[in-house]
Amino acid sequence: MKIDWKKAIGLTAAVSMLVPLAACGSGSNGSSGSSGTEAITLSVWAPQEDQAKDSNWLGKVEENFAKAHPEYKITWKNDVVSEGDASKNVATDPASAADVYMFASDQLGTLIERGGIGQLGTDAEKQVKEQNGDLEINSVTGTDGKLYGVPYTDNTWFMYYNKSKITADEAKDFDAMLAKAKVTFPMSNSWYINGFFDGLTLFGKSGNDEKAGMVFPKDGADITSYLVDVVANPNFSNDDGASGLAAIKDGSADVLFSGTWSAKDVKEALGDNYAATQLPTFTVNGQKKQMKSFAATKAVAYNPNAKNTKAAAQFAAYLGSTESQKLHYEMRSIPPTDKSLADLTKDDIAAQAQADTMANTAILQSGLAGMNDWWTPAETFGKALVNKEITKDNAASKYQDWVTQAKGTIAE
């Protein structure tokens, strides 16, 4: 449900309601003048692309926030730190980190552990729950069940395809596509290999149960044997991170698994034949299974070590507000998580495929430290498949080796 700031209380007062005083504290790094205006400084970390001269989304949002809060006279201190680098920078010295920063949700556990991320107040929490689906909400939920970030875009992968070679119905079935078209997939990439292991769970339903651990599907050995056949199929090629897109561009592949970051290139390559959709099903031993991607979000947080936690928390919530997400898409084509903005991206094929994938064919990439046990063993397993070191004869033992190395268990 959309939060209609203008209708509710007027733009100039909008964000003041997002963080209750109990959650914010009364810290201040400024002083009040005779007019009652408080002079404050807010430090902000954001990606370079959000601060570029020709698409300065951050600057525009800061301008809008200042207009909405005449009680502050704000000095902005912006630095370039990508969402992917946020946690390591915060972890180095939380007290010296930015007051507000953008982060990838798989870093949540580290940020909480280091005391560098603030719990959302009641109204900001309400905002997040109204804007987002369960997966997005869970992505910013700590082990204590509390929310620690405001999601503003999803981060997952889905499927692009050439609709002159593959029909919409065929695009729903991986095996049907592989039988007639050239399919490229990052089998050796640990962020993609999980896609075939339907039934995999990561630290419980919400991704924040440390004791639940990683549970691999019971029929994983059969899936592994199926993948031996997939890799051997002459219509299949492994995408090494660049070869897949190159194959789409030169016409030697008809299917690509990637995210919104590839949309522009794929659209240019396929032209009128450009299509994208949520992930397909596949069949193992007569049983239909759903391919599922890892999914996370990019979100905004405030630093509880900020000198003015109230203003920092207010601005973090504003960066993830409906209006700011709308502006983000208009200025930088960043698809919003806010469900009320669905019409904004209705004609954006990649954005729609991403939204459908998040809703229907994805599992949460947990932000807990235990996820670190996934990456290397998964990559090793995927490379062994591609290199044909895994065979029908050793599929079961190789699968068990992977589970053991990842410190996981197999479902009963």
3-state secondary structure 307-350: CCHHHHHHHHHHHCCHHHHHHHHHHHCCCCCCHHHHHHHCCCHH
> Residue 8: its pLDDT value, please?
36
CA distance 256 to 186: 9
Distance between CA 252 and CA 255 in Å, rounded? 10
Q: Are strands 255-258 and 362-364 parallel, antiparallel or unpaired?
A: unpaired
Report the amino acid identity of residue 283. T
Distance (Å, whole) CA 186 – CA 242: 10
Q: Which domains, ranges and CATH numbers included, belong to the chain?
A: 38-154+296-357 (3.40.190.10), 158-293+369-410 (3.40.190.10)
SS3 364: strand
Tokens for 118, please give them: 């603030």
Angle among Cα 257, 262, 266 to the nearest 5 degrees reads: 85
pLDDT < 70 stretches in the chain? 1-35
Say if residues 402 and 227 touch (Cβ distance below 8 Å).
no
Q: Which amino acid is at 173?
A: D
Q: What is the DSSP string of 124-183?
A: HHHHHHHH--HHHHHHTB-TTS-B--EEEEEEE-EEEEETTTS-TTGGGBHHHHHHHS-E
pLDDT digits (tens, 9 = 90+) for 149-161: 999 999 999 999 9
Tokens encoding 75: 């000095």
Q: What is the pLDDT of residue 35?
A: 64
Structure tokens at 402: 């992977």
Number of C-beta neighbours around residue 353 at 10 A: 25
Specify the pLDDT at position 216: 98
For the CA atoms of 70, 72, 73, 76, the dihedral, rounded to the nearest 10 degrees, stands at: -120
Residue 354 host element (H or E): helix 349-360
- Coil, strand or helix: which one is 107? helix
pTM of the model as a whole: 0.87
Q: 135-149, pLDDT tens digit by residue?
A: 999 999 999 999 999
The confidence score (pLDDT) of residue 29 equals 47
**Contact at 8 Å (CB) between 162 and 168?**
no
Only one residue has tokens 């599922």, namely: 292
H helix or E strand, kind and range, residue 12: none
Strand order in the sheet with 236-238: 236-238, 183-185, 255-258, 158-162, 274-277
Q: How far apart are CA 243 and CA 386, in angstroms?
A: 14
